[in-house]
Structure formats: structure tokens, C-alpha cells
Structure 1
Amino acid sequence: MWFGVLCAKLSPLGLASETFEETLGLLAARLAEIEELERFIRENGRSYTTTTAQGDVMCRPYPEVAMLNEARRHAQSLAAEFGLTPASIGRVGRQQKGQSDENPWGAFGG
């Protein structure tokens, strides 16, 4: 799903290209991972309580919280590579005149 969304957003910029397939795939995978981790946190909360060996109750964050933070940082970095953040849009080159706006992946990408 995310791969198609990204291709649709990047096509008008001339950046939905087979040249960037791996990076687009990685960004799509990270966005899907973020969805899964956010779902886990919504359902379970950000932390849990546990009892230490000494019998004290301790609150700990789920590992998914750190995983989500890392996935978000990586996704933002990858999105910036394609000009998908406000600060990066001006740094990304646009399609040259005469190049096709067609999605090279056809139904797979959209």
C-alpha cells in the first residue's frame, strides 16, 4: 500500500522512477512498520509495570516505543531524500522537460 501512495506523490515530481525503487521500498516498509508500532502502542500503552527481584514495582517502556522512534527518524530521513518534508522540497531536483509522467510500475505502484 505505502509503495503505491509514495509513487503517486512522487510521480508528478518525476521521482517515481525505477532508479529509486529500493529507497522507495525501504521508505514504504518503514511507514508500514510505523503503522504497526503505533497500533501496538495504542492497544497496549507506552509502558508496563513489572516487579523487580527485590519486590519493587517498576514502570518500563515497551521496546516498541524505542522501535517507533527509530522508525520515525529513519522514515523522515528517507522522506527528505525525495523532498517529502517541508525543509527538503526545494533541494530535490524536479523532472526534466520531456520526461514521462507515467508510473513505470503500472498497477504494482498504484
Structure 2
Amino acid sequence: MARGGPRSGAGRKRKDPALKEAQGTYRADRDALVNEDVPLGPMTAPLHLSEIARGHFATIAGILEQQKRSSPHYAEHVGLLALRLEQIAMYQAVIDMEGCTFTTQSVITTKDGSVSALKIMKRAHPAVAMLDAAMRHAQSLLGEMMLNPSAALKLATGHKQVEEDPYEGF
């Protein structure tokens, strides 16, 4: 498999904005420059969030506002993280009440209908897998929004300066 990023010239060619305008398919929101800054401002929580998730949303939005990185464009993404944080708390509560495992029993019978054995199996509670998935997704979202400790260090120090190699001419 090839490495090193996308191939130049690969993919579909972009239409000229003037042609899109003539066809009536031009959308200004899709014609933004690649490294253009998003407008900063307060975020509004999506309507589908519960009260608990809205609390998580407000906390995350406050952190982003303090870091001067709050934008209405990120509201849905922050809402998804808030929803996942609510689910983590919910799944953890289920596990605390019911435990990490449950036991199933099955009766093994012979051909004549008599019981020959009782099979007992311990299985992981379904909430354990759901909690794991929610935690992984939340961790991924925290990384994307640069709200984890390693990203905080990157934000604090900025880009590393490239030192000149004194042996470059040799």
C-alpha cells in the first residue's frame, strides 16, 4: 500500500464557482477557504440534549470560551461529546448497581428428557461494552477538540521551532 498522503491530482476536480452560480448549485458555506478561521462566539446547545447533557455542554463550552476557541460551528461536535459524557455516567451507574457480570443457567437434557447437567456461565454485563465504547468515543472527541492534556501542551507551547542543522552543507 502506498504511503505519504494523498496523491496530487487524485479525486474529483472542483467545479468553478462561476459555473455553480450559473447552474444554481452554488452554496457559500461550502466555498470556504481551507485554512480560514471560523468565527468566534458563544455556542448554543442543540435542542435534542437532555438537562444533564446540557450541563456537560455548558462546561465544555465554558472551557473553549476561556481558551478563546469557542465557535457556533463547533456546537454539534461539543453536543456529541456532552451526550457521550452523559452516557458514560449512565452506564457506570448501571454497572455499579448490577455489577460487571451476570450468570446464565441452562439445563442439558438427554434424549429421554431427563436432566443430565446444569450449565452455569458467567458473562460480561452488556453495559460494560457500551461503557467501553462511550469512553473511547469521548476520548477521541476530547482529542479532536484538543481538550486533553497532551493537546493542552501543544496549545501552550505552539509549534516547535525548526533548528538549523550546522552540518547541512556537508
Task: Give me the TM-score of the superposition, normalised by structure 2.
Answer: 0.51
State the superposition RMSD in angstroms.
1.6
Amino acid across the alignment from 2:77: T
- Runs of 4+ displaced beyond 3 Å: 90-93
Give the match's secondary structure for 1:75. Answer: helix
- The 5 Å alignment of 1:38-77 reads 38-54=92-108, 55-77=118-140
Query: How far did residue 82 of structure 1 move?
Result: 1.7
Deviations 1:57-108 (A, max 9, x none): 1101111100000100000000111221112224459xxxxxxxxxxxxxxx
Residue 132 of structure 2 aligns to which amino acid in structure 1? Answer: N
Q: Is the contact made by 1:81 and 1:92 (CA closer than 8 Å) also made in structure 2?
A: no
Provide structure 2 residue ranges, at least 5 long, that are not aligned to the other structure: 1-54, 109-117, 157-170
Partner of residue 64, structure 2: 10
Identity of aligned residues (%): 34
Q: Give 1 or 2: higher helix fraction.
A: 1
Aligned to 1:103: none
User: How far has the Cα of 1:53 moved from its partner?
Assistant: 4.5
Confirm whether residue 21 of structure 1 aligns to residue 75 of structure 2: yes
Higher relative contact order (CA 8 A, sep 6+): 1
Corresponding letter in the other structure for 1:63? P
**Structure 1: 5+ residue runs without aligned partners?**
94-110
Aligned residue pair count: 93
C-alpha separation in 2, matches of 1:90 and 1:80 = 12
- Partner SS state of residue 87, structure 1: helix
Quote how far apart the aligned CAs of 1:34 are.
Answer: 0.3
